C-alpha cells in the first residue's frame, strides 16, 4: 500500500508562482503523471511529496499518515532527478549499491541485489564503468537502478527521459512502464511532454500556473478537455482553434466560420465562442466549408494538410494516413459531429 494524498497544498513563491491549493489523491500502485508547461509547478509538487520542500500550508499524507513534517529519509521514497545526480567518481555498481550500504546490508546481499537489478535493466556489462564513461541512456538506467534497489514505497521521477534522444526515449518509456507494472510501485512522474503522459499514465493531473486544471486518464482528457488550455496542450498536431459566431434558430445553431457557416443541432446559448476541432476530425468531403489546400506535410506514416478558409487568419489542419490531395486545389472540409468542442471565450471553459 502506498496512497499519497495532497490536501490543499500551497507553496507561494510570490507573483503567482508556485503551487496553489492543490488537492491530489494518488492511488497505490498507480502510474501517476503530473503534466504541464515549464514553470507550472511540477517539480515543486514532486519536491513537496519527497519532503525536499516544505509547503506553506496544506498537508501531505502517505497511507493516511500525515508525513508533512517527516524529513525525506523517513518517507521511504526514491527520487530520480532529471540530471540523474550520479556520483561521478563511483562506478555504476557503487552508485547502485550506495543506498544499500547506507542501510548497512551485508556485502553479499548488496552484490546479489545489484546484479539482479542490473540484469533487469540490461546494464550488467557496464557495472564497472564510471558515469562519465556511460551514454545518457545507460546513466539513466543506473539512476533508475539506484532508485529501484532501495525498494521504496514510492517512485518520484522528474522528467527522467528528457535528456535522451528520441529513439532511446521511446524504448525507455516502454521499459519504465514495464518495470513499474512488474514492481507495482506507486509512481509519480513529472513531464511537460504530453506524449509521455499519454503513453505512461494511468491518470494524469494537468497543472497550469500552479493550479490543477484537470485530472483523469490521459485518453479521457484528450477526448473531453475541460478548458482551452488543456485541449491545446494535448495533441500532435495540435487542435485547431477557430473564433466563431453563433446564431440560434430554434433546434439548430448556425456556426459562422470566417465568411462561411455550418449548422449544428441543438441550441447553443452563447453568441461567440472558440471552436476546437482536432486535425483527425477534419475531413475532406463532397460538401462543407470551402477550403484551399496550400501545403501538405509528408511525414511518412501520415500527412498533415494545411487549409486556408475565407475570412480566417489561421490555417485549419487536418491529418490523414494517405496523401490524397494536391497543393493549391480547392476542397470542402467538414468537422466530425460529436468531436466539435466549443469553449467560452472569457473563462476558457468548455461549453460543448
Ligand atoms: N526556490 C524557488 N524560489 C522562487 N521561485 C521558485 C522556486 N522554485 C520554483 N520557483 C518558481 O515557481 C514556479 C514553478 O517552478 P517548478 O520548478 O515547480 O516548475 P516546473 O513545472 O517544474 O517547470 P519546468 O518544466 O521548467 O521544470 C516557477 O515559476 C519557478 O520559477
Ligand atoms: Mg521542473
116-139 pLDDT, tens digit per residue, is: 999 888 899 999 999 999 988 889
Neighbours of 104 (CB within 10 A): 7
Rounded to the nearest whole angstrom, what is the distance from the C-alpha of residue 114 to the centroid of ligand 1? 34
- pLDDT the model gives residue 260: 97
Mean pLDDT for the stretch of residues 309-334: 91
Residue from 14, 15, 16, 17 to probe ligand 1 pocket by mutation (most atoms less than 8 Å from CB): 17
Closest CA to 189 of 152, 161, 227: 161
Q: What share of the chain is helix, strand, coil (3-state, %, to 5)?
A: 30, 35, 35
Tally of residues, the chain: 352
Task: Tell me the H-state helices in the chain.
Answer: 42-50, 92-102, 107-120, 136-149, 166-183, 194-200, 218-223, 228-233
pLDDT above 90 for 84: no
Residue 104 pLDDT grade (very low, low, confident, very high; cuts 50, 70, 90): confident
Reduced to 3 states, what is the DSSP secondary structure of residue 70? coil
Atom of ligand 1 nearest to the CA of 44: 18
pTM of the model: 0.92
193 CA to centre of own chain: 5
Residues 261 and 335 sit within 8 Å (Cβ to Cβ) = no
**pLDDT range class, residue 243, cuts 50, 70, 90:** very high
Q: Pairing mode, if any, of strands 330-335 and 282-285?
A: antiparallel
- Mean pLDDT calculated for residue range 200-219: 97
Of 313, 348, 347, 308, give the one whose Cα is nearest residue 328.
308
Domain 240-343 -> CATH class: mainly beta
SS3 196: helix
Q: List the residue whose alpha carbon is closest to atom 24 of ligand 1.
A: 38
- Quick one: average pLDDT of 140-152? 90
pLDDT band at 103 (very low <50, low <70, confident <90, very high): confident
Between the CA atoms of 215, 219, 222 and 226, what dihedral angle is there, to the nearest 10 degrees? -30
Mean pLDDT of the chain: 93
Dump pLDDT digits (tens) for 166-184.
888 888 888 889 889 988 9
Sequence spans of domains, the chain? 4-233, 240-343
Q: With contact defined as beta carbons under 8 Å apart, do 44 and 56 qualify?
A: no
The x, y and z cell numbers of residue 106, run together, are 551485508
Q: How far is the C-alpha of 109 from the C-alpha of 293, rounded, in Å?
A: 66
With a pLDDT cut of 70, the percent of the chain lying above it is 100
Q: What is the band of 154 on the pLDDT scale with cuts at 50, 70, 90? A: very high
Return the residue whose CA atom lies nearest to atom 12 of ligand 1: 18
Give the integer Cα–Cα distance in Å for 68 and 75: 10
CA Rg value for the chain: 25
Q: In this structure, which residue's CA is closest to atom 18 in ligand 1?
A: 41
303 CB-near residues (< 8 Å, 6+ apart)? 296, 297, 319, 320, 321, 322, 323, 325
Q: For domain 4-233, give the CATH number.
A: 3.40.50.300
Is residue 268 within 8 Å of residue 246, measured between CB atoms? yes
pLDDT score for 167: 84
In terms of Cα–Cα distance, which of 154, 158, 278 is closest to 143? 158
Model confidence band, residue 162 (pLDDT cutoffs 50, 70, 90): confident
pLDDT level of residue 295 (50, 70, 90 thresholds): very high
Phi, psi of 160 (to 5 degrees): -70, -15
Could you give the CA distance from residue 93 to residue 330 in angstroms, rounded to a whole number? 63
Mean pLDDT of 85-104: 93
Q: What are phi and psi of 336, to 5 degrees?
A: -60, 125
Residues of the chain with pLDDT > 90, as a percent, come to 80
pLDDT single digits (tens) 28-73:
999 999 999 999 999 999 999 999 999 999 999 999 999 999 999 9
CA 195 to chain centre: 6
CA angle at residue 234 from 333 to 295, to 5 degrees?
40
Alpha carbon of 11 to those of 42, 174, 302: distances in Å? 12, 33, 44
Please determine, for residue 163, whether its predicted confidence score (pLDDT) is greater than 80. Answer: no
Q: Say what the pLDDT of residue 81 is.
A: 85
Mutation choice for ligand 1 from 6, 10, 13, 82, CB with most ligand atoms inside 8 A: 13
Amino acid at each position: 500500500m502506498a496512497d499519497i494524498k495532497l490536501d490543499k497544498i500551497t507553496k507561494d513563491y510570490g507573483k503567482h508562482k508556485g503551487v496553489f491549493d492543490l488537492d491530489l489523491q494518488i492511488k497505490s500502485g498507480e502510474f501517476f503523471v503530473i503534466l504541464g508547461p515549464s514553470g507550472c509547478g511540477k517539480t515543486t509538487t514532486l519536491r513537496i511529496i519527497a519532503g525536499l520542500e516544505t509547503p506553506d500550508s496544506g498537508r501531505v499524507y502517505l497511507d493516511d499518515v500525515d508525513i508533512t513534517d517527516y524529513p525525506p529519509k523517513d518517507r521511504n521514497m526514491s527520487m530520480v532527478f532529471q540530471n540523474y545526480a550520479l556520483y561521478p567518481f563511483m562506478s555504476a555498481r557503487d552508485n547502485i549499491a550506495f543506498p544499500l550500504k547506507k542501510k548497512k546490508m551485508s556485502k553479499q546481499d548488496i552484490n546479489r541485489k545489484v546484479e539482479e537489478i542490473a540484469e533487469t535493466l540490461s546494464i550488467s556489462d557496464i557495472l564497472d564503468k564510471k558515469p562519465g564513461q556511460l551514454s545518457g541512456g545507460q546513466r539513466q538506467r543506473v539512476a533508475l537502478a539506484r532508485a529501484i534497489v532501495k525498494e521504496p514505497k514510492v517512485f518520484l521521477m522528474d522528467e527522467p527521459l528528457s535528456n535522451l534522444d528520441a529513439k532511446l526515449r521511446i524504448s525507455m518509456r516502454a521499459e519504465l512502464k514495464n518495470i513499474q507494472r512488474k514492481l507495482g510501485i506507486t509512481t509519480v512522474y513529472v513531464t511537460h511532454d504530453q506524449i509521455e503522459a499519454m503513453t505512461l499514465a494511468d491518470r494524469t493531473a494537468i497543472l497550469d500556473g500552479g493550479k490543477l486544471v484537470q485530472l483523469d486518464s490521459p485518453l479521457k482528457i484528450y477526448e473531453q478537455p475541460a478548458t482551452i488550455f488543456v485541449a491545446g496542450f494535448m495533441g500532435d498536431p495540435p487542435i485547431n482553434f477557430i473564433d466563431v459566431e453563433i446564431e440560434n434558430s430554434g433546434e439548430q445553431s448556425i456556426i459562422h466560420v470566417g465568411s462561411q457557416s455550418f449548422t449544428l443541432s441543438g441550441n447553443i446559448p452563447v453568441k461567440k465562442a472558440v471552436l476546437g476541432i482536432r486535425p483527425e476530425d477534419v475531413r475532406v468531403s463532397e460538401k462543407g466549408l470551402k477550403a484551399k489546400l496550400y501545403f501538405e506535410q509528408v511525414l511518412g506514416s501520415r500527412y498533415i494538410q494545411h487549409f486556408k478558409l475565407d475570412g480566417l487568419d489561421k490555417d485549419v489542419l487536418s491529418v490523414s494516413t494517405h496523401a490524397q490531395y494536391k497543393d493549391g486545389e480547392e476542397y470542402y472540409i467538414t468537422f466530425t459531429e460529436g468531436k466539435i468542442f466549443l469553449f467560452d471565450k472569457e473563462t476558457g471553459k468548455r461549453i460543448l
